[in-house]
Amino acid sequence: MDRQLIAGDAGALAQLMRGAGSVVALTGAGISVPSGIPDFRTPGTGIWENVDPMEVAHIDAWRANPERFWSFYGERFQTLGDKRPNGAHLALAQLERRGLLDAVITQNIDMLHRRAGTRELIEVHGSIATCSCRSCGQRVASAVVLAQLRDAAVPLCGCGQPRKPDVVLFGEFLSAAALERATQLAAGADLLLCIGTFAGGLSGRAASGDHAAPRGRRRDRHAGPDAVRRSRGRPARR
């Protein structure tokens, strides 16, 4: 494996993108920080700096104490609701429109890629767009839940059970379908753009190529802190 760091060299990145047959972006919390959304673990501002995720964002917390869960999540929904995509989200959407990017795989639940206009989007941790009922399966837009939270501590489904945000909570499995699609895309990509995330999570697994990369491929270039070229020799896109 031959990695070459070309951080900050947009020209080199553009060249890599032009030469790649398939380009996929993996994004994490860092891409949304300029939109005013704090990441999780940055000292001082990280969401989990001041609150224990196991107490407010774990599936067991939702089951055991929906009031506490929703007092945290209601606020989070409110905070995320008015955020706007920043230049990085918009640039990825534009690259897709221009045929230079195949898909965005994101760990973020903030909907900013959707709002930016990305069409091929895999939200592996779900999103705040909707909430569902675990008992009867009814799904509603989060706006409905926010309206409910004005009058009630816990938004209830028509069947009487607490609603749950359609995000993957701690203690829950990722959606098998989303994970499979993400894995397929990452494994098939010549170039992975890892943006606002770190090599420990999904992006690390995908970028390391240790799970599903076809034989004969190798990572041979590291473009920017976060771009990983997976192979050479595929026909250029144009």
Residues designated as active site: 125
To Zn ion, the closest distance from the beta carbon of 129 in angstroms equals 18
Please report, as residue ranges, which positions from 66 to 85 form the binding site for Zn ion (by CB under 5 A): none
Given 47, 157, 186, 213, the residue binding Zn ion (CB under 5 A): 157
Q: Which of these segments, 2-10, 157-165, 193-201, 203-211, binds Zn ion (CB under 5 A)?
A: 157-165
Helix (H, G, I), strand (E, B) or coil at 110: coil
Question: Based on the number of CB atoms within 10 Å of its own CB, is 94 exposed (0-12), middle (13-18) or buried (19 or more)?
Answer: middle
Closer to Zn ion by CB, 143 or 159: give it: 159
Rounded to an integer, what distance in angstroms lies between the CA atom of residue 55 and that of residue 64? Answer: 10
Ramachandran region of residue 36, left (φ > 0), alpha (ψ -120 to 50) or beta? left
Please report, as residue ranges, which positions from 4 to 63 form the binding site for Zn ion (by CB under 5 A): none
Q: With binding defined as CB under 5 A, does residue 159 bind Zn ion? A: yes
Rounded to an integer, what distance in angstroms lies between the CA atom of residue 157 and that of residue 188? Answer: 41
Please report, as residue ranges, which positions from 126 to 145 form the binding site for Zn ion (by CB under 5 A): 133, 135-136, 138
How many whole angstroms from its chain centre is CA 208?
Answer: 18
Closer to Zn ion by CB, 106 or 142: give it: 142
To Zn ion, the closest distance from the beta carbon of 119 in angstroms equals 31
To Zn ion, the closest distance from the beta carbon of 149 in angstroms equals 17
What Cα–Cα distance (Å) separates residue 164 from each residue in 145, 152, 156?
A: 10, 15, 9
To Zn ion, the closest distance from the beta carbon of 68 in angstroms equals 21
Are 142 and 128 spatial neighbours (Cβ–Cβ below 8 Å)? yes
Q: Which of these segments, 4-12, 79-87, 101-109, 149-157, binds Zn ion (CB under 5 A)?
A: 149-157
Helix (H, G, I), strand (E, B) or coil at 9: coil
DSSP secondary structure letters along 8-52: T-HHHHHHHHHH-S-EEEEE-GGGGGGGT---SSSTTT-HHHHS-
Closer to Zn ion by CB, 159 or 236: give it: 159
To Zn ion, the closest distance from the beta carbon of 136 in angstroms equals 3
**Where do contacts with Zn ion occur on this chain (CB under 5 A)?**
133, 135-136, 138, 157, 159, 161
